[in-house]
Structure formats: C-alpha cells, structure tokens
Chains A and B, each alone.
Chain A
Amino acid sequence: MIAPSSPPDRAARTACLVIPRFSLDVCLRRHPSLRGKPIAVADGVQRREIVCASLDALGVHAGMTPKQARAACPTLAVIARDHVAERTAGEELLDALETCSPDVEGAAPGLYYFDASGLPAGEASALGAALALAEALGYTGAAAAAADDKFTARCAALVAGAGISIVPSGGNAAFLAALPVSLLPLAPGDIERFDLLGLRTLGSIAALPTAPLAARFGERARAYARLARGDDREALRPRRIQAPYEERIAFDGPIDRLEALFFALRGCIAAVATRLAGAAQVCDRVDIILESDDARPPLASAPAMPSPGTRRNNGISNLRRSTSAAFAASDAPAIGMAAAAAGSPARCAAGRLMNELDASEGASPQHTVRGPGDGMAGEAVEVVIPVMLAEPTAAAATIFDLARVALEARAGQGAVSAVTVRALPCADPPPQLSIFDGSNGSRRAALAATLARLQAALDRDAVVTMLPTPSRSRLPERMQRAQPIASPREFDKAASDVRCKTGTVDSRTAWAPALRLVDPPTLMEPPASGVACAGPFRLSESWWERPIERDYYQLAGGSELLLVFHDLRDGQWYVQGVFD
C-alpha cells in the first residue's frame, strides 16, 4: 500500500506535514518548564474547550471542558491557546520548509503542504528533511506524506503516525479505499447518516454513483465522492510574501477640511492603484493612515475616554494598538484619538478628525502614538482607518469611494498633518468576470462598492439574495432561503448554488400575480359562506416533529385577494399572504 521509495516521474505531487499537537508544542516552546507534565490547551468561547492535550494527560481528549479534563486528570495544567504565537510559529516553520520546496502552503495550524513535484533528491529525502526541521523546531509526533493531491497526502500523513509515507502516483483511490469516512471534511450529521447506511470507508463511498448520493446528501456529496476517489481538485496555494504599496503626502500645515483631505487622498490612492495594476495585483484592504501632531492648539471638542488598550512609547519607536472589528460594522465614530487616552489634557489635541474612538465598541482604527516624551507636547498621533473592499480590486475610483465613505461615516473632523495610503496585495488572484455575463469590470466594481456601502449602513443579514427552496418544505414561510451577500463573489456563489430551483431563468414574459408573504401568519375570522374562493389544498408536513396540517384557500375577501389557511390542528384561520 505504501511504497518506501518515490516513483521516478510524475506530473504533480504534493507533500503534507502534519503536526498533531501543534498548539501544545507552541505553548511548550514558550513555557519549557511545563515539559513532561500533564498539560492541555483550551480555546473556544471563554476557553471552554480543550483542543489539544499532552500524552501525559491521561484521560483528557479534545472537546472536553477544562472542568471535565481536570476531573479526569487532577494534576492537569490548562493553558490558553495563543493564536498570535501559533501564527508566528507557523510562519517560522514555513520559512524552514522552503528549504525543501519553493512552494509551501500553511493550510491550518499544524497542517502544511509543499510542492513535491520533481524534487531532485526524491520525495523520501524531502519528507525526511521536513520531519527533521519540525523536530529541530521542537515539534513532536510530526508525520509527513506525499501523494498526487492534497487530501490523499493529508490522509496518508494522518494514518501513518510519526514518520513518512509515500502514496505512489496513480494509487490514490487504492490507498484511500480502506480508510475511514471520518477523514472526509463532513458536514455535521453526515457521519451518522453514512454510518446508518453502512458506508464506513472511503472506498464504499467512491464505489457509489454520484448522482443518487448527491440526491440524498446534497451537492456536498459530490465533493465527498471526488475526495474519496482521490480526485482532490484543490490546488496548492503557495505562500507569497507581499510587500505593501504605500503613498504618503505631508501637508505644509494641518488641514481640517475633508475636501482638502480627499484631494490629497485621491492622489495617494491613484498612485497606489496604478502600482497595483502595474504589477497585475489587487488588494482587498487599504489602510488610510492619518497623522496629526499636537504642537498646535487643540481643536477637539471633547476628550475621549481613556482606553485600556492604548500604549505609548517613551522615545523613538512606534507603538501600535489595534482595537477590533471592521470599519463596515461601525456606525459609531471610529477615528479615535490615542493621545487623549492616557489622561493628559495635552494629549486631547489631535484635532477633530481624531476623537471619540472609545465611545463605542464597534470602533475599529489602529493607533500609533509616537514622539519623544511620555505623551507630552510634540507627540504625534497616527490613526489607521482600515477600508475593507468587498471585492479585491485595483480600481482607484472604487478604493477612493469607499475611503470617502469610511471618512465621512466618522463623527468629528479636524486637523491632519499627513496622510498615508497603504495597500497590501492579496494572495488570491483577481476575480473572474465571466459569471457576470454582460457586465464589465466597472459594473462589478460598482457593485462591490455598493455592497460595501450597504454593509457599512446595515446589518450583514439585511443584504441578501432570496432563493426559493421548494425541496425543503411546501409551507410558504419555509419555501425560501436568505443568503447574506457581502461581495460579488458571494453573489456568484449564491447564483451557482444548484440546489435551488432557479437554475434556469424563466424566459416567458407573461405576468404572474405577486404574493406578499405574511410571516408569521395572522389570525383571521373564518370566511363567511358564499365568499368566492378556491381550495382547499391540503398540506401535511413535519409529522415527525411538529405536525402541520393545513387546508389552503385562495380567497376574495372584500377588496383583497388572500392566501389563507385553515389550521386543522387548532381550528383557527390564518392569513398567509396577500396577492397584490
């Protein structure tokens, strides 16, 4: 099943390095004194879930609560998961893996892929080197494998335990056939359903015809079948180290009018966008950095509240504080004044553009306080306003439009001494335009800008596409599904969902009466005899949970044309909709 040596020629090969207790190893690197003791790493909401435990922690497994874990192992030490340290460690490991292959991908903490195609020293040598690197960095129990695709390589690494394994080229299906179904990225509940059907190995799923499987489990079953056959189509996404594009304009004197700021901002954004486009790159986030110094008289009308997270330096280097969230979610003022946060009145002087950060939890800028002294005169303040783009783009007009929205949405405006625009190219390629038939790039950019504006003004769930789902239920209130839309990509995704029944557009031009849904249905008096109506149309559903039995009628009541039903369980009459 597993060949000890690599085959000579192959088109594409992928290697996978799995570190099973990555979170724990990262913690141990920071706290070496805990090595050899029973410890566990907790994460989740209020650190209520054990995600990883050492081999010494007998009886403790992932998914337990810390209390359950301590009951099983009284000497257990529980450590909080450190995501920042994990990211740093992951980057460090990827740097090391680049000695094995130029294309490396960090898929998840503890899960790394690299391109193993045509390695001169052979796959076994590369995998051995990867394991040696992981061990040298302090990671225990690592496993490495190579196969034709990512899923097979990961499965091989998982089932091989510590060590290396190589799946021969073209042998994916045979290798996967005996492995358990649980290796698939299953949706909740699917493993139980597979078990009830007696499908316990990947081979049993691969042997089934895809269409009936998809009919029973939905479209995701097609992906299951592909993976089970060793046909993972997800390509390796190599890490790319991107340098940000940055443009800065310093003003002769502080400016406190938005129009002047926009004038400068437009030039910066145009320069950044030109450089992005010239490099055939796009970005999905732009940072607008406003600088101000308090050497001039204060303009702020009210000092901001002290911020517990604000930091300042005593001299040379910049210190940056990041609050949270995205600008799109904040109706509240989001340009804050970091200098004011330390309690000194002199620090309240950053200008009207720099205030009111901490008045709201939804605020989202990052602050840099810099300059000599402990926050006294001469201290400069930087406010970073992140502008999230709904769609990766290099269009200056779109970026400027959203930057203007971000600045206008903030309460309080005032003096700025310099403005910087920083754009970090995103790793993903530019979006395909073909799905938007007939719409060019500018239309798509306009849609992205419109969606970003809507996201800024409304809740995320308020902007949706509504798709009918007649297969789910026949009850009108359950016959549609709202798909939140935040970007044109999500629009595309919703459109390509073949489970909905709108895959084909009805090309006829005849009108159909519109029904305005009344949800929840409202009570009504039983209709009088002699009223024009049609029906009944019986609907019985959900007999296994909350039985529903309704007789539907189309009723001309007074001047209105209604869709009503008689609930056979409670005997009441309800209005379900109004034809309008």
Chain B
Amino acid sequence: MLKPSVADLRTLVERRWHGTVARVGAAPLPGVPTGDAALDAALGSNGIPRGRMTELFGAASSGKTTLAFAMLAACTRAGEIAALVDVPHAFFAPAAAAAGIDLRRLLVVQPSNGAAARHAVDALVRGGACTLVALDCADRRDALRAHHCARLVGQAEKTGTALVVISEGDIPAVASFASVRLRAEGLTPCWQTGSAGSGRLAGCIVSIAVAKSRTAAPGKRVRVAAFVPDVAGTFFAEPADPRLAPAIPHLDETDERHDRSLVTA
C-alpha cells in the first residue's frame, strides 16, 4: 500500500474540516521571549506571540507565577515596558526583583475588584505602551468572560500587545480565546543541607507543558531550573550572584534523571 503524501493528507483534512490548512513556512508571529531558550523553541522560536492572548495556568505552587515573572523579566530587560494587573494583591516586589524584573519598567495595577481589573487591562492593552500585559487572576474565576476576552484579544491584535493571563485553568473563556496555553505542572523543590544542620530551599524545577498552541505544535514539555537567591527573611536584599548558587543543571524533556537525583524531599 502506498503511503499517502503530504498533499493527500492536506486534501483529506481540508475536505473533512471544510477549510484550508495553514501552509507550513508561514512567517512566524513576532513574539516576546520567555527567558528560556528551550521554552521559546517549544513555542515556535519567538516566545509567546504578540497581539495574542496567552494563558499560564496551574494550581497553587505549580510554577505559573515563576513563568510569568520570567516573561516579565525578559521583557523589561529588553528595555520594554510591561504591566502586571495583580487582582489578588499577591505581588511581592523583592521576589520579582530577584527574578530579574526591572521594576522601573513594570507598572503594577492592583484593582479592588474584577470590574476594575477588566478596565485596567483594557486601558493597558488599548494604550499600546506596554509590550506585555499580564493579568493575574488566579482564584478569580469570574474575572473574564467571553465577551471580555473577545474585546481584549481584538485590542491586543491592534496594538501588538502580548496579553498573558495567569489563572488556575478554570476560566473557560480564556482557555478558548488563548492562542497559547502553558500548563505549569508543578514545582519540584531542591533542598540544600546547611552546615548547621538546617537546610534551605536551594531552588525548584518548574515543569511546563504546552497545552495549546496556534503557532506551533502543542504537547511539548520543558523543565527549567529556578534557584532561590537567598533564604527567607533576608532574601532578595541584593541580587544574588549566580556563581554562588547551587549547581542546578538546565533540564529539558530528554533529561529525566536530574530531579530524581537532586530532590531529597
């Protein structure tokens, strides 16, 4: 039996779905880097797309905020202005500074309710001054509905703003309108034993899966190491010297051994 060619497959799919299949090799959308080359590659080499909605979702301690901070850090480091709409008022500036965010280029909006948050996101996206606008609406299921998402996506497309929604994955409208959905699958802690017997949290391994992508093939999985610059109470006073940090190798989907060997919890 002859193997079907790509053209045959295309014809079959187009006949089945009554539409045209996008041609391979189309110009990739401009994007905002995520701060990790492997994740950028999984998303199609340009990071998260500009002018589109991206959802970062996961349960508490899944790593979604770490991922968002990495994106904000990459954006502000490039000299762009970013904004974070912090609905739960959970933003912690020292942690953001430690994650590499240039706080001088980050606009933080802390609205008092969901409606104010929607107004804020709308103003930020329509203004076009911010390259990346992140809306943190974890544990706020009613923050965005379908018509809000439609309006925001339309405005983002006009201004080329990358809109990132941080959620727990329980907002159907966002899941539907998002061009890219990244699932944070959990933080795997890495403990470091101290000389006095008490240990410290040396870092974590963040697992991220591309749950949905309209710009690249979904299903890829990336794991990134994130280390804590300092300990609680005294942490983040000064940017940590990465040379002093414990050696946590960069992990990807092909290397499954490291978390087994490092995690002692």
List the B side residues contacting A517 at CB < 8 Å.
90-92
Bitwise, A446-462 to B at CB < 8 A (1) or not (0) is 11011001101111001
Closest-CB distance, B73 to chain A (whole angstroms)? 8
Chain B contacts with A in 31-62, Cβ cutoff 8 A:
35-36, 59-62
Q: Known A480-B92, A532-B191, A552-B232; judge A450-B61 contact (CB<8 A).
A: no
Tell me, in angstroms, the Cα distance from A366 to B116 when the chains sit together.
Answer: 28
Query: Taking the complex as formed, is B226 at the interface, i.e. its CB lies under 8 A from any CB of chain A?
Result: yes
Give which listed residue, B102, B120, B124, contacts A505 with CB less than 8 A: B102
Tell me the smallest distance from the CB of A499 to a CB of chain B, in Å: 13
Give the distance in Å from the alpha carbon of A494 to the alpha carbon of B108 in the complex: 13
- A396 is an interface residue with CB less than 8 A from chain B: no
Give A512 to B242 CA distance when docked, in angstroms.
11
A259: shortest Cβ distance to chain B, in Å? 18
Q: Are A501 and B237 in contact (CB under 8 A)?
A: yes
Q: In the complex, A563 Cα to B60 Cα: how many Å?
A: 13
Determine if A457 and B120 form an interchain contact, defined as CB atoms under 8 angstroms apart: yes
CA distance A509 to B106 in the complex (A): 17
Contacts of A463 in B (CB 8 A): 107-109, 120
Contact B81 A447 (CB under 8 A): yes
B66: chain A residues at CB < 8 Å are 511-514, 579-580
Q: Does chain B have a CB within 8 A of A137?
A: no
Dominant secondary structure at the B interface: mixed
**Chain B residue contacts of A507, Cβ below 8 A:** 77, 100
Q: Which residues of A contact B35 (CB under 8 A)?
A: 509, 511
Contacting residues, chain B, for A515 (C-beta < 8 A): 92, 95
Q: Which of B36, B99, B109, B265 contacts A512 (CB 8 A)?
A: B99
B135 within 8 A of partner (CB)? no
Q: Is B224 an interface residue (CB 8 A)?
A: yes
With a CB–CB cut-off of 8 A, which chain A residues contact B228?
512-513
| Among B62, B92, B232, contact of A554 (Cβ-Cβ < 8 Å) | B232
Q: Does A4 interact with chain B (Cβ within 8 Å)?
A: no
A508 at the interface (CB under 8 A from B): yes
User: Looking across the interface, which residue of chain B has its beta carbon closest to that of A554?
Assistant: B201
Residue in A454, A456, A508 whose beta carbon sits within 8 Å of that of B124 in the complex: A454
CB distance from A454 to the nearest CB of B (A): 5
Decide: A466 and B232 in contact? CB cutoff 8 A.
Answer: no
Closest to B245 in A: A510
Q: Is the CB of B63 within 8 A of A580?
A: yes
- Residue of A462, A480, A513, A538 with most partner-chain B CB within 10 A: A513
- The size class of the interface chain A forms with chain B is 35 or more
Instruction: Tell me, yes or no, whether A539 is within 8 Å of chain B by CB.
Output: yes
Shortest C-beta distance, B104 to chain A (Å), equals 4
Q: Could you say which residues of chain A place their CB within 8 Å of the CB of B126?
A: 450, 453
Check B233 against A501 for contact (C-beta < 8 Å).
Answer: no
- A502:B90 contact, CB within 8 angstroms: no
Contacts of B169 in A (CB 8 A): none
* Known interface pairs A462-B111, A463-B109; A457-B92 also in contact (CB < 8 Å): no
A329 at the interface (CB under 8 A from B): no
**Quick check: B187 and A449 within 8 Å, CB to CB?**
no
Interface residues of B in 219-265 (CB under 8 A from A): 224-229, 231-234, 236-239, 242, 245, 264-265
B239 engages A504 (CB within 8 Å): yes
- A57-65, A218-226, A355-363, A436-444 - the one binding chain B: A436-444
Q: Is the CB of B198 within 8 A of A439?
A: no
Within A530-573, the residues touching B (CB, 8 Å) are: 532, 534-539, 550, 552-554, 556, 559-563
Query: Does A485 reach chain B (CB closer than 8 Å)?
Result: yes
Contact between chains at A502 and B102 (CB < 8 Å): yes
Contact (Cβ within 8 A) A458 B93 = no
B94 and A514 form a contact (CB under 8 A): no
Q: Given the known A-B contacts A465-B103, A474-B233, A501-B238, are A556 and B94 also in contact in the complex, defined by CB atoms under 8 Å?
A: no
Which residues does chain B contribute within 8 Å of A466, judged by CB atoms?
A: 91, 93, 96, 103, 106, 108
- Report the Cα distance A446→B83, complex, angstroms: 14
In the assembled complex, the Cα of A563 lies from the Cα of B64 at a distance in Å of 17
Q: Which chain A residues lie closer than 8 Å to B218 at the CB level?
A: none
Pick from B61, B138, B226, B227 the residue with the most CB of A within 10 Å.
B61
Residue of chain A at shortest CB distance from B193: A534
Distance between A120 CB and nearest chain B CB, rounded to angstroms: 49
Contact with A along B122-137 (1 / 0, CB 8 A): 1110111110000000
Assign chain B's interface to a size class. 35 or more
In contact, B94 and A561 (Cβ under 8 angstroms): no
Determine the residue in chain A with the shortest Cβ distance to B62. Answer: A580
- Given A506-B97, A534-B199, A580-B64, is A457 in contact with B123 using a C-beta cutoff of 8 Å? yes
- CB-based contact A458/B119 at 8 Å: yes
Cβ–Cβ contact A556 & B265, under 8 A: yes
Q: Within the complex, which residue of A501, A510, A578 is in contact with B227, where a contact is CB–CB below 8 Å?
A: A510
Bound Cα distance A518, B112 (Å): 16
Q: Which residues of A contact B59 (CB under 8 A)?
A: 559
Task: Using CB atoms, name the residue of chain A closest to B78.
Answer: A438
Question: A178 — which chain B residues lie within 8 A by C-beta?
Answer: none
Q: Give the complex CA separation of A515 and B60 in angstroms.
A: 11
Once bound together, how far apart are the Cα atoms of A507 and B99, in whole Å? 10
CA distance A563 to B111 in the complex (A): 25
- The closest CB in chain A to the CB of B68 belongs to A514
A331: nearest residue on chain B (CB-CB)?
B119
Cα-based distance from A480 to B94 in the complex (angstroms) = 7
Complex: A557 Cα to B22 Cα, angstroms:
46
**Complex contact A510–B226 (CB within 8 A):** yes
Contact A537 B95 (CB under 8 A): no
Q: Name the residue on A nearest B105 (C-beta).
A: A495
Given known pairs A518-B90, A552-B232, A559-B186, the reply for A535 and B198 (CB within 8 Å) is: yes
* In contact, A476 and B61 (Cβ under 8 angstroms): no
Q: Does B171 contact A (CB under 8 A)?
A: no
Q: Which of A223-274 contact B (CB under 8 A)?
A: none
Which residues of chain A in 460-504 are interfacial with respect to chain B, using CB atoms and an 8 Å cutoff? 462-468, 470, 474-476, 479-482, 485, 491, 494-495, 500-502, 504
- Contact between A511 and B96, CB atoms less than 8 A apart: no
State the Cβ distance, A351 to closest chain B Cβ, in Å. Answer: 27
**Residue B98 at the chain A interface, CB threshold 8 Å:** yes
Q: Which of A500, A501, A516 has the most CB of B within 10 A?
A: A516
Q: A454-B124, A506-B239, A532-B191 are known contacts. Are A514 and B69 too (CB-CB below 8 A)?
A: yes
Beyond A470-B236, A576-B232, 18 additional contacts (C-beta under 8 Å) are A449-B127, A450-B126, A450-B127, A457-B120, A462-B112, A474-B233, A480-B92, A482-B110, A491-B107, A506-B97, A511-B227, A513-B63, A513-B206, A513-B228, A516-B92, A532-B264, A537-B231, A554-B232
10 interchain pairs (CB within 8 A)?
Answer: A446-B129, A462-B116, A463-B107, A470-B94, A476-B94, A510-B100, A512-B66, A532-B191, A539-B233, A580-B65
Residues of A that sit less than 8 Å from B by CB: 437-439, 443, 446-447, 449-450, 453-454, 456-459, 462-468, 470, 474-476, 479-482, 485, 491, 494-495, 500-502, 504-519, 532, 534-539, 550, 552-554, 556, 559-563, 576-580
A-B interface, 9 closest residue pairs, ranked by CB to CB distance from nearest: A450-B127, A532-B265, A453-B123, A511-B226, A495-B104, A457-B119, A480-B93, A447-B129, A514-B65
